[in-house]
Structure 1
Amino acid sequence: MSANYWTSSQYKNNLYTKSELNDIRLSLFTQELQKYGNYWLTIPLQFKDQESGSNKQISIYAKELHYDRDYNLRIYLYLQLMKLGKKFQLKQVIVSTAMIYVQRFLLKCSIKECNVYYLITTCLYLASKVEECPIHIKSLNLIAKSYWPDFIHSDCTKITEFEFYLIEELKSYMIVYHPYESLKQILHSFTDYVKTNINNDEQNSIENYLFNYEYLQDTWAIINDSYVTDAHLLYPPHIIAVTSLMLSIVLKGEQLDQKIENSRKIIKDIENKKNTEKYNSKSQTINKTTNSDIGSTINSVSNTTNTNNNDPKDFIIPNEEYDEMLINLGLTGDNTVQSKTVVKDSVSPNIANPESTELEEDNFQFTELKEQLKQNCLEKEMIQKKIAMFNEFVALSLINMQHIEDCFKDIMVLYQFWTGYSVAGQGAKYEKIQKNKYNEEWIRFLLYRVYQSKT
């Protein structure tokens, strides 16, 4: 057993470049065509076209059932392996080791030459023994048969037979190094770097530069998802750990930006609504004051001329004459006159009673939104400090930045497919892409038809 990754079989024998992986899988794909032919790889499927409304004949070619050509199959195998591991409450490192075995095995053999459900079960059984946490083969076979009754036999010796076949194809290279331990070492080194490179005045606020449990939890989840990609066949564990940590920071910053934008929009809407209500209440006050003055003028005129006119409440002021009438009445441009009319009016509560305005400003929801916005802005500043300090740390550590960039792209492509979203435009807004949405029913149907046609 090697205690050092750089002298281990994983680094010497199971680390590839992208061109090498493409050549290996292309040769495997060519062997599939020569052995089975196009007819066996093609499955007719009837479905109704939404545009024309007529039935169309769809041919399912090998790319949907080849591990490097479709993320549906990768995600499906990973989720089935996770489901089986959770049933036995296994550690995450055991499931991750089993997923590495699945990836390495599918570089040697076609998925059409084996039963993937037996592959998942056997890889988990072998990984539990390698990670020194074995599970009983009868219990494993019983649970696997309950999940996939059409593909798992009741005889548990089938798993034992597949185990020897798996060890032979993997050339007995069973030790796997994971990014989890590298992540712990990186965080420990980063903590020491921060302590020695910040000012003495900032020693009390050193937590602003370090990563708390929330970042560690997000990074751990991203590392778990990275086993769906080819990252563990292309990059050393520390590259995946650094990439996952940086991606967790970026995602956290984007979430905060979205929260800040939403809070500001809601606060702006509330303020606009309040300003509109104040303007309407003030307009009502001016209208009532104007109507009372005009009514008194009309009454005086009627008393002088001894003529009966309409009631002042029925007097209508045209909108286009409103400003001119206010000027004539001295209600605009003269603050003293306007203030007197405001004091005389006891009908409008927002103007005559300033306490109601204060109560409105002290609205709990509005105050809470402002406080939340303030906290999010402070947290955004802290994230920017973390990013700046961590970038300096990575630059001084002499880590291959090209590997980090390539690994970053691989994981983002996975998330875009898995969630069905992708970034559209420079505004970093997300739009949904249904064609890239993960479809578990689709891949389960394909595997069922392939294995049925073989039997």
Structure 2
Amino acid sequence: MADFVTSTHRTKWIFTPQDIKHKYKVANHRAKQALEKYGTTRMEVDIDGSFSYAESQNDAKDSAEKRPKPLKVEEEQLLRAFYEFKIQDVCDAFKFPRKIQATALIYFKRFYLQWSVMEHHPKDIMLTCIYAACKAEENHVSAEELGKGIGQDHHVILNNEMLVFQSLGFDLIVYAPYRALEGFISDLEEFCGAKDEDQLVALKGSLDTARIEADKIMRSDGPLLFPPGQLALTALHRANAAHSIFDFERSQSLFSFGQNPQLSLTF
């Protein structure tokens, strides 16, 4: 089984907040420079992953007032957030497992560390990331089926596939917090001595809420900042705030060291 500690996810794709802000600014600045030089920021992508500007508009230099207005970094963030919601919506519509949804989101986030939304339309990249995630997680869905299911041209998916892989550095194995969540709940069930029906139902409810909280976290910069175990603990902490079935502060020694902190469930 793959190990997060030795993975490219940990060694290459965990950043500081300053790193992330810098990458967004660099991509935004490059797109603005392209707009000044070519009169456009949008790129056309060939199926081999090569790309070029959609249309050279050198005469746009003579009519700057006709140029489209570039997006600010903050406006790009809003667009990315919108399409991250869409990734979850599409995955829900196809009834994909959460792992596929999480993988697609991580691919999408990594892609836009390299590129501006002004250079590659996030709708196209969103679909390609879902398609790539299905492949990586061995839940193959054809590009035709995916495109048809949401009324989009599947050729856009295929054309952008190699570009997405190249932008990810072909690092396709990623880690999400959901498996860690299930492990934490299993440990709590064992060490807290949850045996009767009410306790088991309470723990299941906490896990369901924690999964929803993890879905929210996956739309933040969290997956680019923290390992999946920490994301899972955050989701569990939020879930416990709603259910209050165990002492979360005392339970952290269980999660960190695998020891029994003599927990008890509260009802």
TM range (shorter): 0.7 to 0.9
Query: Which of 161, 171, 175 lines up with 2:173 in the alignment?
Result: 175
RMSD: 2.8
Question: Structure 2: any 5+ residue segments left out of the alignment?
Answer: 42-68, 258-267
Give per-residue Cα distances to partners, 1:352-385, cap 9 Å, x unaligned.
xxxxxxxxxxxxxxxxxxxxxxxxxxxxxxx3xx
1:96 CA drift (Å): 1.5
In structure 1, give the amino acid aligned to 2:30.
Q
Could you tell me which runs of 5 or more consecutive residues in structure 1 were left unpaired when the two chains were aligned.
Answer: 42-58, 147-151, 196-202, 253-382, 400-455
Deviation at 1:36, TM superposition (A): 2.0
Q: Is the partner of 1:239 in helix, strand or coil?
A: helix
Q: Does residue 135 of structure 1 match 2:141?
A: yes
Contact conserved, 1:74 with 1:228, CA < 8 A, in 2?
no
**CA 1:191–1:213: 2 relative to 1, 3 Å:** closer
Counterpart position of 1:231: 222
Match of 1:250, as an amino acid? A
Specify which of 206, 217, 222 is matched with residue 215 of structure 1: 206
Partner of 1:80: 86
1:247 partnered with 2:245: no
Query: Quick one: which amino acid aligns to residue 3 of structure 2?
Result: N
Relative distance call for 1:86 and 1:392 in structure 2 (3 A) is: closer
Distance (Å, rounded) in 2 between the aligned partners of 1:238 and 1:206 = 28
Alignment of 1:121-200 (within 5 A): 121-144=127-150, 146=151, 152=152, 154=153, 156-195=154-193
From 370, 387, 392, the counterpart of 2:250 = 392
Q: Which has the higher contact order (CA 8 A, sep 6+)?
A: 2
- Pair 205,132 (structure 1): closer, same or farther in 2 beyond 3 Å: closer
Normalized per residue, which structure has more helix?
A: 1
Answer yes or no: is 1:62 the counterpart of 2:63. Answer: no
Q: Report if the CA contact (8 A) 2:23-2:113 is conserved.
A: yes
**What residue identity is the alignment partner of 2:21?**
N
Cα distance change of structure 1 residues 26 and 393 upon mapping to structure 2, 3 Å threshold: same
Q: How far apart, CA to CA, are the structure 2 residues paired with 1:94 and 1:249?
A: 26
1:35 correspondence with 2:41: no
Aligned to 1:93, which of 82, 99, 104? 99
> What residue in structure 1 maps to residue 21 of structure 2?
22
Q: Provide closer, same or farther for how the CA distance between residues 206 and 128 of structure 1 changes in structure 2, counting only shifts above 3 A.
A: closer
Residues in 1 aligned to 2:15 and 2:169: alpha-carbon distance in whole angstroms: 16
* Amino acid in the other structure paired with 1:391: E
2:45 corresponding residue in structure 1: none
For residue 111 of structure 2, what is the aligned residue in structure 1?
A: 105
Q: Indicate conservation of the 8 Å contact 1:191/1:210, yes or no.
A: no
CA contact (8 A) 1:194 1:209 kept: no
SS at match of 1:107: helix
Would you say how many aligned residue pairs link Structure 1 and Structure 2? 229
Question: Is the 2:104–2:132 Cα contact (8 Å) retained in structure 1?
Answer: yes
> Aligned partners of 1:64 and 1:19: how far apart in 2?
15
Q: Deviations over 1:303-354 (max 9, x none)?
A: xxxxxxxxxxxxxxxxxxxxxxxxxxxxxxxxxxxxxxxxxxxxxxxxxxxx
Aligned identity (percent) is: 21
Cα distance change of structure 1 residues 231 and 243 upon mapping to structure 2, 3 Å threshold: same
- Taking the TM superposition and a 5 Å limit, the aligned residue runs for 1:297-376 are none
Q: TM-score, normalised by structure 1?
A: 0.46
TM-score by length of 2: 0.76
